[in-house]
Amino acid sequence: MNNPAIARSARRLRMLVWIGIGLIVAIYLLNRLGSPLGPLRVETHTDMAGWAGQALIDLTLLMFVIALVRLAQMLGAVADGPLFGPRVTRSFRGFAFWLFMAMLVDVSAGPAIAIAGKLADGGGRAVLTFELSDLLVLAGALFLFLLARMMEQARAIESELEEIV
Compute the mean pLDDT over every residue in the chain, rounded to the nearest whole number: 83
For residue 99, how many other CB atoms are within 10 A of its CB?
Answer: 23
* Rounded-to-integer distance, Cα 132 and Cα 141, Å: 14
Check residue 1 and give its pLDDT. 52
Tell me the pLDDT tens digit for each residue of 72-115: 999 999 898 787 788 888 899 999 999 999 988 888 887 777 77
Tell me the pLDDT tens digit for each residue of 132-164: 887 888 888 889 888 888 888 888 887 788 787
pLDDT tops 60 at residue 38: yes
Check: CB of residue 50 under 8 Å from CB of residue 110: no
pLDDT tops 90 at residue 37: no
